[in-house]
Amino acid sequence: MDFKMLVDKREKKYLLKKKVNKLGTDLGVVDLENKDVGEVVYSHLGEKFYYVEPTLYDVLKRMKRTVTTLLPKDIGFIIARGGIRNGEIVLEAGTGSGVLTMYLANAVGKEGRVITYEKRPEFAKVARENLLRLGLVRKNQPIIGLDEEFNDDIEVEEGLFNVIMKIGDVREGIEERDIDVIVLDMPDPWEVVEHAKKALNKKRGRIITYLPYIEQVKKTVEKLKEEGFWDIQTYELIERVIEVSEKGVRPSTRMIGHTGYITFARVPID
Ligand SMILES: C[S@@+](CC[C@H](N)C(=O)[O-])C[C@H]1O[C@@H](n2cnc3c(N)ncnc32)[C@H](O)[C@@H]1O
């Protein structure tokens, strides 16, 4: 990935692009020239910093965003309950900022592929830069359906390069066939169910939808049933952060009340 990270004594994290070699902070200027990731470094004021590789989670929290992105609790469950694994072909809509895309791409690995549809070119371009920096799309890789060439100055040498980006409204149809999993984070997935039925692999095809409103879930499940999908199940996940202090251990007072409902189903054979 095109990122490295500094962490100060307060555990404040500074995500840096690889080519950045100097950082000004309120704890002084840190010069990274001739320093290796994995070292302790000091600012000109003598303050200590960890110089490390960021995790995908560190990157996610600081990625450029155009839309509300999925949270790790939901992403993790989509992958685990959806049974998404190495080598699978996943089709996703919409790309948004590419946060879910990045985890799907890592789940399917080098042998797999994520084909991601986005109807708004301006969102797809921001997502492309995020995915480029993570080594998931190649330098100068086009976005299918977008009449624009890219001349990237970023090159990530080691990456999965397994994401294909497309501009398109997935409600109008899915060209691809033999897809293992379709993941829809968009407002009206019931409009996609018939296309999904044709596009999914009959042996193992699954569809997963993520929706904020229960009315949307009802409409989606009704459509899935109508089209013969089976093993249909909807979930909501609640996350509680636990605070550990001298006084005791307890859940944090504040929490995220609601994100979305996740529905899973399998494609019918006939
Ligand atoms: C909530 S965002 C997705 C966020 C994304 N999962 C992430 O983690 O960054 C929904 C996206 O779907 C796109 N979208 C909505 N309807 C669509 C459609 N019919 N076809 C393709 N993209 C669509 C929107 O433009 C928006 O970017």
Nearest to 130 by CA among 63, 69, 56: 63
Question: From CA 28, how far away is CA 113, in angstroms rounded?
Answer: 43
Question: From CA 20, how far away is CA 5, in angstroms rounded?
Answer: 10
10 & 104 share domain: no
The CATH number for 176's domain is: 3.40.50.150
126 & 241 share domain: yes
pLDDT at 34: 92
User: Tens digit of pLDDT for each residue in 95-136?
Assistant: 999 999 999 999 999 999 999 999 999 999 999 999 999 999
Provide the whole-model pTM.
0.93
Report the chain's mean pLDDT, rounded to a whole number.
95
H-only helix segments in the chain: 56-62, 72-81, 99-108, 121-133, 193-199, 214-226
Residue that terminates a domain, selected from 54, 70, 96: 54
User: Tens digit of pLDDT for each residue in 206-223?
Assistant: 999 999 999 999 999 999
What residues flank ligand 1, with Cβ below 6 Å?
67-70, 93-94, 96-100, 117-120, 123, 169-171, 185-186
- Please identify, by atom number, the ligand 1 atom nearest to the C-alpha of residue 92: 6
Compute the distance from residue 98 Cα to the ligand 1 centre, in Å. Answer: 9
Domain that holds residue 249: 58-266
Report the number of distinct structural domains present in the chain. Answer: 2
Share of the chain above pLDDT 90, in %: 90
35 & 66 share domain: no
Share of the chain above pLDDT 70, in %: 100
User: Tens digit of pLDDT for each residue in 238-266?
Assistant: 999 999 999 999 999 999 999 999 999 99
